[in-house]
Amino acid sequence: MKLAILGMGAVGRGILEVLDGKELGLTVTGLADSKSGLMDRDGIHIEEVLAAKRERGFCGDKYISATDIVEQADYDVLVEVTPTDARTGEPATGFIKAAIGRGKHVVTSNKGPVALHHAVLQSMARKHGVAFRYEATVGGAIPIMHTLEHGLAGNRVLAVFGILNGTCNFILTRMAAENLTYDQALLEAREMGYAEADPTYDVKGIDAAIKLVILSNTIWKRNVKLDDVGITGIDMLTTDALRLAEEQHCTIRLIAEAVPERGILRVAPRVLPKNHPLVVDGSLNAITLETDMAGEITLIGKGAGSRETASAIIGDVLFIREMHVRGH
């Protein structure tokens, strides 16, 4: 099966490294970063391209753009892993629509298009008889979408609760364990590479809220928007609050929570018993699904990382092959 990959950040490079190291029967026939692109219907030489990117900062021909790849390359699946623009969803949404319009499957890790245009993109994909998959957008390596789609098929999902942002979870874990202030823990998160220079999206709960929107629309098809989510971040949390929780064998976590029957759609710090399955430490993510048959199912795993996100992308690609490509 032939892949065109857009984006050569940590995720794109992670995917290429995996494809280079594993015999998965997947060929990369198109590739673009923000500055250049290349096409080869016989398969791009991955090692060479990774070396080129490392050495000169771009992967291919500066006269070939991502749009050229989407519109002209010979591929079965578009792997869209450019950076998220949560406000506009562009240019990713345009790429995705163009690929679906050409009858190509799409796999993405980009939260923008899915949070903003889930219903439109799914219905376009259905119309063209192709798959639109986005396992990597929520929970990193945790196969939450596969679990919803197949593992828990037949169940009605009543509620979802999640720790969807590893940066916040790392900060809260450190505050509780070492009695650090928020600022001290944030500094540590930065030093360890868990927090961006500008951590606003993470610590204000916006990243978790975007993922909650994606989960909600996947589960309940209700077309909620980021503005519908009540959001409280962790940046005002005091050491006293954590100590108080501790005294009751509890701790505080930033929980994203959707319970449609009770009108709940929010991200906020919550006090939880320490032995609650959702209470994970460090930069882990965790998601609990409350269902009518299976009861509560919790999934825990790494919420970020180049190889972990590649795992989610590859899982989607292989599933598309299983479902759509005959006789492989």
* Phi, psi dihedral angles at 161 (to 5 degrees): -130, 130
The yes or no reply on residue 250 touching a copy of itself (CB under 8 A) is no
The CA R_g of the chain, rounded to the nearest whole Å, is 20
Q: Is 104 helix (H, G, I), strand (E, B) or coil?
A: coil
In the complex, the smallest distance separating the C-beta of residue 188 from a copy of itself, rounded to whole angstroms, is 18
The yes or no reply on residue 259 touching a copy of itself (CB under 8 A) is no
The residue from 42, 62, 63, 153 that contacts a copy of itself (CB under 8 A) is 153
Between CA 166 and CA 168 the distance in angstroms is: 6
Q: Is 89 exposed, middle or buried (CB count within 10 Å of its CB: 0-12, 13-18, 19+)?
A: buried
The catalytic site residues sit at: 211
**Which one of 29-37, 57-65, 254-262, 277-285 is the stretch in contact with a copy of itself (CB under 8 A)?**
277-285
Between CA 74 and CA 71 the distance in angstroms is: 9
In this structure, is the dihedral angle defined by the CA atoms of residues 304, 305, 308 and 312, taken in order, positive or negative? positive
Quick one: DSSP state of residue 61? B
Label residue 129 left, alpha or beta by phi (over 0 means left) and psi (-120 to 50 means alpha): left
Cβ closest to a copy of itself, residue 165 vs residue 309: 309
**Which one of 39-47, 101-109, 141-149, 182-190 is the stretch in contact with a copy of itself (CB under 8 A)?**
141-149
| CA 318 to chain CA centroid, nearest Å | 17
In the complex, the smallest distance separating the C-beta of residue 319 from a copy of itself, rounded to whole angstroms, is 5
Residues contacting a copy of itself: total by CB under 8 A: 46
In the complex, the smallest distance separating the C-beta of residue 300 from a copy of itself, rounded to whole angstroms, is 4
The yes or no reply on residue 291 touching a copy of itself (CB under 8 A) is yes
Interface of this chain with a copy of itself, residues 48 to 77, rule: CB under 8 A = none
Interface of this chain with a copy of itself, residues 23 to 52, rule: CB under 8 A = 24
Residues lying near a copy of itself in the complex (CB under 8 A): 18, 22, 24, 135, 141-143, 146-147, 150-155, 274-275, 277, 279-281, 284, 291, 293-302, 305, 307-308, 310-312, 314-315, 317-319, 322-323
